[in-house]
Amino acid sequence: MDFYERRRTKLASQRQAEAEGKVADSMEVRLALIAKMDAGEMTLEQVQAELKRIKRKAKANGQITRSQAYSRGRI
How do residues 3-62 score in pLDDT, each as one tens digit?
Answer: 999 999 999 999 999 999 999 999 999 999 999 999 999 999 999 999 999 999 999 999
How do residues 37-53 score in pLDDT, each as one tens digit?
Answer: 999 999 999 999 999 99
User: Could you tell me which of 16, 24, 26 has the C-alpha nearest to residue 55?
Assistant: 24
Residue spans per domain, the chain: 3-71
